[in-house]
Every structure is written in C-alpha cells, then in structure tokens.
Amino acid sequence: MGSITNTFHYKDLTFSFLIDTRQGGDIFNLDLYYGLATGLYPETAGNNDLGNPVRNSIANGGGIINKGVTADGKVNTKRVDISGLFGAYGYYRNPAKAFVYDATFVKLREASLTYSLPGKTIAKMAPVKGVDFSVIGRNLWIIHKNLPYADPEEIISSGNAALGYMGGAYPTARTFAFNVKLRF
C-alpha cells in the first residue's frame, strides 16, 4: 500500500491531491459468483461469436462455446445451449477460482482547490489574519483496478474476518465539501 500527495501554489490559489494504491492481494467476488449464474450481468445477455443473442436456443443461432480443450487436446468448438441453463456463467458451472480477482487498485482519493484572500483585503478585516475558501472532493476516480463492477476496497467487513471476500458491494460514494477557514 502507498500514497502520493502533492500541493501546488500559484498566487492565491492552492491545488492539492492524494493518490492511493494497493498492489497485489486477492478478492473473492461473491457478487459475480451469484450474479453471473442468475443472469444479472451484461456478459450473460450479449451476442455470441455468430452475432446472435447467447440466450437463443442452438436452433436459433444462440449458445456459447466454452473456452478449453477436448479430451484429445484440441480446442473446444462445441456450442452449448444456455437458453434454459441456470448458472452457465456463474458458480454452478465454473470453479470458485473463476471469481478470484487481483485486488490491485490506484485511486484519486482526494483533491482540493483553495483560494486565499489577498493580504490587502485581509488587512482591512482586523482581527482576521487570513481567510481561505476550499472545495474538496473525495473518492473522485478509480484510475486502475482489476475487479469488474466494484470497488476493490468494498469488502464484507471492516475487520480481518472477511478480508479478501466481497459481497453486496455498494457503489463508491464520491463526496464534495466546501470549507471556509478563518485565521485570527
């Protein structure tokens, strides 16, 4: 885990940012485990290599070709009908390892822009010695992640009990604040 922060000053403006990163680790994604099995995610409703909806029957050009090889070592070319097949993409037909993802991420955790009133203006406001107006944003951008559809920091618990186990993740909330700082 690591962070990089920087601050830039130009006349009466100050811009600062914080970037956080975590490299490595694994997350078991329970949401995808069940969601792909039940048809919740877009991968379960797209078009196949023939350009037809995967949920169509084989007779109507649907189905999928699962990745892998046959018993004689040749690439699998057999199309599977998934029109009524529960779990074609999810846990029912795939090993649990298919739902383990790299937990690496890079985030723009915080950015702020501050305007400080100039000294000439402050001189007229005794006993005030400084006034700063700031706009602050948090959780602004997940720059990189390997986990689809969720924030890699969304785990089931805040403790170590469920570290690396994700389920029922809420979307990451971006927050914005306005701050006025007076110095006396």
pLDDT of residue 41: 87
pLDDT at position 158, please? 62
Domain boundaries, the chain: 2-34+95-183, 42-88
Question: What is the pTM for the complete model shown?
Answer: 0.77
* CB-neighbour burial class of residue 147 (10 A; exposed 0-12, middle 13-18, buried 19+): buried
pLDDT of residue 172: 85
Helix, strand, coil shares of the chain, percent, nearest 5, are: 15, 40, 45
84: amino acid identity, one letter: G
Q: What is the mean pLDDT of each run of 10 residues along the chain (184 residues)?
A: 96 97 92 86 88 91 88 92 76 83 95 94 85 96 94 74 78 93 91
